[in-house]
Structure 1
Amino acid sequence: MNRSAVLLVLAALILGLASGHWLAGFREGSEPSTPAEKKVLYYRHPMNPSVTSPVPAKDEMGMDYVPVYEDQVPEAGQAERHPSAEAPKERRILYYRNPMGLPDTSPVPKKDSMGMDYIPVYADEETPGEANIVKISPDKIQKLGVRTAEAEQRDLVRTVRAVGLVEPDERLFHAVTLKFDGYIEKLHVNATGQSVEKGQPLFELYSPDLVSAQNDYLIAKNSRSALKNAAPHTQAEMESLVQSSLERLRYWGISETEIRQLERQGSVRRNLIIRSPASGVVMEKMAVAGMRAMAGGTLFKIADLSSVWIIAEVFEQELALISSGQAVRVRLDAYPGRTFDGKVTFVYPTLNPETRTARVRVELPNREGLLKPMMYAHVELTGISRPALAIPQSSVLEGGKRTQVLVNRGEGRFEPRVVRLGVRGDEWVEVLEGLKAGESVVVSANFLIDAESNLKSALESFGASEPPPGDHADHGGM
């Protein structure tokens, strides 16, 4: 090869090397780096940019998380970053709370009785103890008509209401019977419901035994007079005979009035008058003129209605509120607008298994005679009165196995709180656990707030299936 040809080959080689070096420099300065050379900051959810992961992952539909590179984040001084482009922050979980809003928390992940995951509560979301708080705007509070009342110490009074019937006082009931056989000759009281006074004649009776007893008494009495000058022991024997004859008449129920009249007359009376043993009203009359009256048979039943009973039926769950001596107010259908005052005198020891009620005896004075047996009565018994921490009945939300109230935490925040209740009064109810004196509870529109609280818990329980940012355990690696 000649010298000129060698020079041409060397020149071509030098030119090619220079061109390659220049193209390599141009390509390095102008073309972007390949994705493999970029620095990945984190990976974001393909459908929800707010959900991120520091490692490659897949969503619930199997789609890959989208990588976010370092050169996609604006530098300082540029426009505000979009939330999807922000670097992930490590979120600290405070605890896990019940998905249905129950006051139950756990320091570790767990499931409730229905298999639902407990919801994580992060430090940047809410403060400890406020996981279940419902936040409502002031204008919505005004539209709902929310009213509150404080839990306070007060005397609880509960009125027990029952129904009953007016009955005669059993202690003022009298039965007229005979201790010997006889025949009713004439009736002086011949109608049921007739009022009688003590000592008033009821009927006239003929009895051979009674005639014989009168005759024995008069003979003994006359013999004593005839032997007044006899020996002392003889007079003593006759006096004993007189007294025994007299006692026989008394044992048979002959009144002192009839005995004195027999002594004055000095002769046997064929018919003897039987008188009323007490004042009252004839409740039953079995005596009929001309009938034979047998010893032991009841001829009249007389009740003194100056004081009556009301036998009220009280439900089993209210018996603990009833005791002897309690004041009672009674209303009767026969006297609208009028009340009668009485008191409890006895609580019967047995229970009706069919109605689950117990009988309570109420005693009332009846000097005017307005209260009549078998009248229908409405009874109000003033129950227990004792100091207790109490809240209005309207603030209580009953739901299944739990009882709760809505506590006003201020600034439109309301906390559902489970409470344990005690005795219920007419308008207030005792709080045994769950509240302190001075805490404010919602007494109106609480059902609407509670519904919103349940809705919030339900929505959060559905959202609990989404993995929180930075949670490595919930993402599958690639």
Structure 2
Amino acid sequence: MNVLRDKRLGVAMGALLLLGIGVGTGVLLAPRLDGVAGEAAEGGGEREILYWYDPMIPNERYPGPGKSSMNMDLIPKYADEGGTNAAPGVRIDPALTQNLGVRYATARRGDLEGDLSATAIIDYNERDIAVVQSRADGFVQRVYNRAPGDVIAAGAPLVDLLVPSWGGAQTEYLAVRRTGDAPLIQAARQRLVLLGMSEGLIASVERSGRTRNTVTISAPTGGVIKTLGVRAGMSVAQGMTLAEINGLATVWVNAAIPEALASRLGVGQSVEVSLAAFPGERFTGRLTALLPELAGDSRTVTARIEMANRGGRLRPGMFGRITFGGGSTPALLVPTEAVIRTGERDLVMLALPEGRYRPAQVRIGREAGGQTEILAGLSEGERVVASGQFLIDSEASLSGVAARPIGGTAASAPAPRPRSAP
């Protein structure tokens, strides 16, 4: 009996001991589990996830992880990376911008140089063109070894024409002259003029008393032969163009002027021209016209300058630069390289606090000395990206960041409704 009682007592003591150990373990483990759960909850709340998206399709938003419509893994969009509840713009790691060599500039007030410079090309003066035509049907007997591009003097022979119809008319005129009837002689002479004979040819027939049905056509003005449409042995019709001669006494200098600067120019203004063919030498001319048509690809207006071509040194096709004089004017300036021209609008990339960036639409004016005038869209003292802005602009476009419009802050577009993850 004593032995049995001792065994029961031992079992009871063991059970109490195990119960105590279990309770103690639970008391010890409970605080540790609570701490882990608290840390997990706290860790999950460090960065708030707004939605999930595919960087290739930033407009598609999903409520949770998964695959996009392009079967790409979704990534989270955090609240501190931008969104409807965050400051506008896109945030880029400062270490990345440093590796890219991003440079900054500040919009400042300054004096913009008044001199306007533009590229220019010398061209023919198309107001100084002579067209040589045949005055009667005939045959080409000689072209005096002429060819397009030849430079000839005024009065130089171009072509000899045989005109059979003139021979008979001249014979009749000489017969009428022998009658001594003045009114009849005048009528016969007028008939020769109407047939296309020159006064010099008629006078030669009168002096010699012999017919001349072969006539030499000469250049009415000096210059370069632009076109020559006859060769020996050809037949020509009345009114046919035999040659075109462009004078070289004056030339045109055509310059491409940006449309924003065209309003500064006026017809009659004096212009200086420097040519690559004559380094260190300056030529002067006069602005004769601003052509009404705007070149759509380059957004420039053609300015036409007329210059005297002394000695024929200026040749069409020569390249140079023109300079229009003017005084300096105050303006809001940024480096020209900071302006992003898309063709539809002009942008600069604003450098905001905390490493954020946002594009801003601007209206630009004149350019000179590597500086561009900002007419609207930017305030003095604002920082812009002067180098590397194209990469930042691409990142902003992928993130759906709207450009700040001229005259205000871009209205927040309603966020697309999240789609269910596939």
Provide TM-score, normalisation by structure 1. Answer: 0.47
1:160 to 99, 102, 118: 118
Q: Which has the larger radius of gyration?
A: 1
- Aligned to 2:319, the other structure's residue is in SS state strand
Residue deviations 1:163-190 (CA, integer Å, cap 9, x gap): x3x3321121112111210112233453
Report how far residue 264 of structure 1 moved. 1.0
Q: Structure 2 matches for 1:84-99, cutoff 5 A?
A: none
Match of 2:132 in 1: 176
Partner of 1:254: 197
1:304–1:314 CA distance, 2 compared to 1 (3 A): same
When residues 310 and 252 of structure 1 are mapped into structure 2, their CA distance, relative to the original with a 3 A threshold, is farther
Which residue of the other structure, out of 379, 400, 403, is the alignment partner of 2:321? 379
Residue 196 (structure 1) shift: 2.9
Q: From the superposition, tell whether residues 304 and 349 of structure 1 become closer, same or farther in structure 2 (CA, over 3 Å).
A: same
Please name the residue that 2:365 is paired with.
423
CA distance in 1, matches of 2:115, 2:340: 22
Contact 2:228/2:243 (CA < 8 Å) preserved in 1? yes
Q: Distance in 2 between matches of 1:442 and 1:278?
A: 62
Pairwise CA distance, 1:272: 2.0
C-alpha distance in structure 2 between counterparts of 1:167 and 1:301, whole Å: 16
CA offsets per residue over residues 441-465 of structure 1, 9 Å max, x none? 999x999xxxxxxxxxxxxxxxxxx
Structure 2 residue 151 is matched with structure 1 residue 209: no
Secondary structure in structure 1 of the residue aligned to 2:243 = strand
* Deviation (angstroms), 1:277: 1.4
Counterpart CA distance in 2 for 1:311 and 1:363 is 9
Aligned-pair identity in percent equals 28
Determine the C-alpha separation between the residues in 2 that align with 1:339 and 1:250: 50
Give the RMSD, CA atoms, in angstroms.
Answer: 5.1
Q: 1:273 aligns with which of 216, 223, 237?
A: 216
1:411-443 Cα shifts (integer Å, max 9, x gaps): xxxxxxx9987633416655768999xx99999
Question: Compared with structure 1, are the counterparts of its residues 421 and 151 closer, same or farther at alpha carbon in structure 2 (3 Å cutoff)?
Answer: farther
Whole-angstrom CA distance in 2 between matches of 1:353 and 1:432: 22
DSSP 3-state at the match of 1:210: helix
Cα distance in 1, alignment partners of residues 213 and 259 from structure 2: 59
Aligned-residue offset at 1:302: 1.4
Over 3 Å counting, the alpha-carbon distance change for 1:332 and 1:446 in structure 2 is: closer
Contact 1:405 1:419 in 2 (8 A): no
Change (3 A) 1:358 1:153: closer
**What is the aligned residue count?**
296
1:271 CA displacement:
1.7
Change (3 A) 1:183 1:363: same
CA contact (8 A) 2:252 2:305 kept: yes
**Can you give the 5+ residue segments of structure 2 that lack an aligned partner in the other structure?**
1-40, 43-81, 88-103, 352-359, 389-422
Note if contact 2:111-2:328 (Cα within 8 Å) is conserved in structure 1.
no
Paired residue for 2:53?
Answer: none
Deviation string, structure 1 residues 231-277 (Cα, Å, up to 9, x no partner)? xxxxxxx42x4334333433454333222222211221232222221
2:175 alignment counterpart? 219
Q: Which residue identity lines up with residue 185 of structure 2 in the other structure?
A: V
Instruction: Indicate if the aligned counterparts of 1:328 and 1:342 stay in contact, CA closer than 8 A.
Output: yes
Q: For residues 372 and 116 of structure 1, what CA distance do their matches in structure 2 show? A: 65
Q: CA deviation at 1:330?
A: 3.8
Cα pair distance change 1:254/1:393, threshold 3 Å: same
The secondary structure found in structure 2 opposite 1:171 is coil
Q: Name the SS for the 1:170 alignment partner.
A: coil
CA–CA separation in structure 2 for the residues paired with 1:347 and 1:193: 29
Query: Residues 114 and 325 of structure 2 are in contact (CA less than 8 Å); yes or no, is this contact kept in structure 1?
Result: no
Residues 431 and 205 of structure 1: CA distance in aligned 2, closer, same or farther (over 3 Å): closer
